Chains A and B, each alone.
Chain A
């Protein structure tokens, strides 16, 4: 690390708390962001000379607040009519500075900052972009790169999202218990979206998009540190860690998908797995199950298996059964069918997915799984039809490449018989 690299780390990590507190003072996202930006500029000048402050976030909040108040006062002199509200609000802010920095505010500040990005009017992609910009502090350029769009398009997307958020009523009162729980689950869902945006990348873009996964993990850990005893936040964090632990093993050198069974498990990241398993153990003790915990528990069973044949599919089947009750969805049943096929054979798996055919008629994975079951049953013609349909529905080139591999195998298997028949 260069001598000033530690400053970048300190500014990034202080950002959610500082912008969250400044947002509470000024009740305006743009003012809060600008105040934080100004405080960072001063930090870059002051910290290398004076060393890091004991509490970087408090320093940035104080300096950001003072600079912004100065700016507002200077602006005020040029305006004939001062805004009374703004002035009384600022006096208030000064008096209550100590109180406003206390621990419980700090949790709700960060939660609020995350929560305003989850505005229900915002489509998922805008929620994610906004969170990465204002909470994580990624530059528009970095976000555009991760989303594989132009910087101008991303700039526009973020501006539009900000406009919508600032038109909405941001709740500044300290939330009650029920409200806090609602905010937590909205924020958890948004963090999961950020992760998936990175995780669902295909092989050729996985490296560019991996920072999204890392950022989601950072935000999940942050949220968990604020709400240490929330089993679903433990579950969410564990789920992200356990999935991301497999990143290095998920694609071959050509960018094609490598399925769990075929992955080189020595490439799995052991510290991430250890952290994920520790969290799921902690969560289970609360005996308050939820969808993130169940999904994490499934990921944990995969992570604990040293070889594919050590996987406890019976337990995975049970867990998917629990998830079906919590979050009924044909996709969950499809996943369960894979576990069922491992325990009771491909026929049982096929029986389970047949009723889903209509609802998943445009779903790539449905035809991939169906094709695989049929292939295992030796019903090769039907398997080929399913795989052809899967290729047509593939979302990424890596998905298509993976199915093509199955088709090639079917081709090879049928070749010798074809030759014989010709003789």
Chain B
């Protein structure tokens, strides 16, 4: 079809040929589309947090994140420091996306085939159990022992980042393995947070939250589609969980799992409507917005051709990877590394336990878990996956990060928390390097299995 001049689609500013978009924004966007990007952004946030918190400007760091933000209606209010709002509020969106990813993988992804899902699940379980046990072996006594959960989680973004840095052309089976492993790992962490890191449970509030979940379920069944309704119900669930003792971020997971994975409209029907509306609208209507209703209807139909799950993920994913998670790291990873604060024996042991659990426990556990699954479940290794690579992936999965920091916040008191943060930050560097080297040195072995 010939395109008349002036009839082509107009690009937004960010994709135009102006100097700033051309030199800054477009390169930035194409970088952000790569696998490494979200890991790199997290790393940058970490470095900034560490430098800032140990610089002369550290007063400003503490001051900024510990400011009190408040919403108060009459006598009833929700107030917390900025750091708490990020941890309990914004991170809910991160967990919402995690819930969406889990649901998608279970329904249509790698975890759909229960047999194929066994390997990553077994590997994840092994990794979590061994890491937690190693941590507990070094820190057998409370309160330090309570931090075992922080030794467990895998950071999807960073593990994938290490993988793509080490093997830019990794076979997709490898990526899928890492992804499913990380997702299984997320499920484990969520269960741990719900079961072990919830204190002084307010049963009434939790029942209320479950009731709201039931309302969401019913609303879905009667085909209510308004995003305002679900947004309000999700907020209500968050408020119910806030102060119930359970982490309110679980509201995000629940809403993610409740989001429908089937589109409202058949794509074929929408295609027909699209043809019709494209034919019936004119280029120069008078009055100028005479066709507005039709175009808006088409926009609504097109959105209806995509499942709410995919839509929500497309909207939220950039925000969670590039804004919320980095913000969380920026607010939480700024540990003051003061040697004398770490010399108490309990702090030393927390650091040591964290390092041991991550750098040794994770790879060991993942290899062990995979091996047991292969032997007992009689599943073969997918093509492209070798035992050395599993070891490398295990090491990369040992990079603890945002989620570990999150659990550490929930589980450890002040000085130990600082020690755990130091352990997490050091272990991240160590495991990342280890994973990178293991995956890299065996690069020549690609394809041999």
* Chains A and B bind each other: no
